[in-house]
Structure 1
Amino acid sequence: MKKKKTTWLYGGLLWMGVLLIGVLFWILWEYVPKASVRYCLLAVCGGIVLLTFLWTARKQRQINQFADDVCETLDAAIAGREPEYFQPYEDSLTAKVQSKLLQYYDIMQEGRIQSQKDKETLQELVSDISHQVKTPIANMKLYIGILQKPYLEEKKRSQFMTTLAEQIDKLDFLMQSLIHMSRLETGTFVLHPSKGQIYETISSAVSGVWGKAEQKKIDISVECAPEITVWHDSKWTAEAIGNILDNGVKYTPKGGSLMITVRPWQFYTRIDITDTGIGIPEAHYHDVFQRFYRGEEAATQEGVGLGLYLANGIITRQKGYMSVKSKVGEGSTFSIYLLS
């Protein structure tokens, strides 16, 4: 359809040019008496008509070729192949249009790939959540069935009630962790960092694990000058540090220790949290920050593998980062770097 419109346009221009030349020739013919001059004028007008025709035909071929090249580029993009006769470094309108079309195709292709990745991530997330929730729910159903038996001894009934309450607490902890994880991954995790004393944030984190540490007789010490300030969201940073401390208490044997050391480090302030726990193999340094990851050595302890994942997410969203060094059987040091 577009080719037909273009043909009519150039055809109209050609005949309009011929008509104007004919009128001009007729006017001049009356005022030029000599035959030789008339023939020269006739030749000039004929040459002009011929050049106009050739120029119009050339433009028509260029437009047709341009349309064919654009269509070929689109067909190649749809088929996922390189278009024929594509010269990306050629300084021509066709090359420019082809480059833009291919650039747009690449952007759309990346969007489709990212959409597929997001879909796979969501499927994995749903699978992981269902797996994590399945165990406490099954236990709760089991204990409720036992408690419904009328001949159950009061002592055992009390024990099962306590165990049932523990399973409910575990499920509640799991759901809260999953909510935090969901907010983290969907970008609705809002932080409000400001310049503040890190000592108070650490104190808040320590108070959350102090009871568990006391039960295992684990000593917690803090080495931090009160005047040290960093850019951080106090509430969420306390939760991140608390998750690391909770892991330290969980995987440190009775009578062990946890030490928190804070010191300036280049453009950041470095917070080292060192435990005397079971340690982490070097091959799994990166894995411990992945969601739902739990090493073989941690299988005997309760947990869902979200604590360090959430801690890392909170710190990185404050333009900080985390690292870990460990030795199996001797302990681990988790380092947090926050902007000073």
Structure 2
Amino acid sequence: MRRDNAAWIPLLLFLAGASLVLAGLLELPAAIFHPAAAGLGLAVLLLTLLWKRRQERRESDFANSVLRTLDALMNGWEPENFHPYEDSPLSKVQGKLLQYHDQTQAGQRQHEADKQAVQELVSDISHQVKTPMSNIRMFTDILRQHRLPEEKRAEFLSGLSAQVDKLSFLIQSLIKMSRLETGTFTLHMEDASLYDTIAQAVSGILAMAERKHIQIDVDCDTHETLRHDPRWTAEALGNLLDNAVKYTPEGGSVRVSVRPWPFYTRVDVTDTGTGIPPEHYHDVFKRFYRAQSSAAAEGVGLGLYLARGIITRQRGYIALKSEVGSGSTFSVFLPR
């Protein structure tokens, strides 16, 4: 009904004005003209007041609707009388409010996820540092408080040195992980020899491989060139090789083979180790993950996590294929 009344207001104003003009043109007698003009003027005034009041009521209704929408969003309720497909000012404002609310909620969820991730990281680091620190304290107390034969003293000193090395390795790994997760490390992409990068990675595990009598084979064209970061890629491949040697029994073998594909260059690191069950393919790339079967092996569970992060940031990816008891193949795909 209000819309119908409002639609007549402009028409009535037009008719009132036209009547006044017509009365003047026809030169009606003053006795007729003045009462008519007064009546029309009063009608115009009344209609103007009605129109103004209606506008105020519409503005009040609009403001109340916006406030009800805000109240609903702040209380987690679904806004009432929301028609997103209507082309009206109220629907547009409600739509923007809902969009802002969704963005705010998404930001809050991300904040909570980041907070949870930091808490888990601190817990993981505390757990990892606790063991070598306890061992260092134990060896130190024994050496300080007891008179030991020289042979036994040398044994405890060797154990103490090993724990210090483990703690140093853990700290270095945590620094790399921190740089990786916060994006503070910089990739220096260049057209470089992939053979040289692999050679650098292999050099880091040769001593351990020789102690276990594990044969290392590399099948890569010496002229193979690829756009990559040599230092960080060698770090990633070195972690894969370290993992392969670590879980391969004495007398086994590890092979690195390179195959150019149309869009990627594939680097396979294949071992004859214990293998990984399919249900743990995803788990081995998690931070600090250690399988129960590998509890006796050295490591902190960051190598594969760092390797995947480094390769991913070069727009590549790592795939895994394994068979329990027969070994594993980690395939690195780097874009050509």
Q: Equivalents in 2 of 1:82, 1:266: separation in Å? A: 52
Of 227-236 and 88-97, more deviation after overlay is shown by: 227-236
Indicate if the aligned counterparts of 1:77 and 1:105 stay in contact, CA closer than 8 A: yes
Q: Equivalents in 2 of 1:35, 1:231: separation in Å? A: 100
Instruction: Give the alignment of 1:162-201 within 5 angstroms.
Output: 162-201=158-197
Q: Equivalents in 2 of 1:37, 1:151: separation in Å? A: 129
- C-alpha deviation, 1:83, in angstroms: 0.9
- C-alpha deviation, 1:150, in angstroms: 4.9
Alignment correspondent of 1:48: 44
Query: How big is each residue's C-alpha offset from its partner over 1:146-168, in whole Å with a ceiling of 9 and x where there is no partner?
Result: 11245200011111111111110
Distance 1:244 1:50, change over 3 A: same
Query: How big is each residue's C-alpha offset from its partner over 1:168-200, in whole Å with a ceiling of 9 and x where there is no partner?
Result: 000000010011111122221221222222111
Which one of 85, 89, 92 corresponds to residue 85 of structure 2?
89
Q: Does residue 1:237 correspond to 2:265, yes or no?
A: no
Of 89-98 and 181-190, more deviation after overlay is shown by: 181-190
Gap runs ≥5 in structure 2? 1-12
Which one of 243, 248, 251 corresponds to residue 247 of structure 1?
243
Q: Equivalents in 1 of 2:227, 2:293: separation in Å? A: 35
SS in 2 for 1:148: helix
Q: Equivalents in 1 of 2:31, 2:188: separation in Å? A: 95
Q: Equivalents in 2 of 1:149, 1:112: separation in Å? A: 54
- C-alpha deviation, 1:32, in angstroms: 5.5
Q: Equivalents in 1 of 2:228, 2:103: separation in Å? A: 36
Which one of 246, 255, 273 corresponds to residue 269 of structure 2?
273
Tell me the TM-score normalized by structure 2. Answer: 0.90
Q: Equivalents in 2 of 1:286, 1:35: separation in Å? A: 99
Alignment correspondent of 2:101: 105
Aligned length: 317
* Structure 1 stretches of at least 4 aligned residues deviating more than 6 Å after TM superposition: none
Q: Does residue 1:257 correspond to 2:262, yes or no?
A: no
Q: Does residue 1:58 correspond to 2:58, yes or no?
A: no
Which one of 310, 330, 333 corresponds to residue 314 of structure 1?
310
Alignment correspondent of 1:284: 280
Q: Equivalents in 1 of 2:225, 2:69: separation in Å? A: 58
Q: Does residue 1:203 correspond to 2:221, yes or no?
A: no
User: Aligned-pair RMSD on alpha carbons?
Assistant: 2.0
Indicate if the aligned counterparts of 1:32 and 1:38 stay in contact, CA closer than 8 A: no
Gap runs ≥5 in structure 1? 1-16
Q: Does residue 1:115 correspond to 2:111, yes or no?
A: yes
Tell me the TM-score normalized by structure 1. Answer: 0.89
Alignment correspondent of 1:77: 73
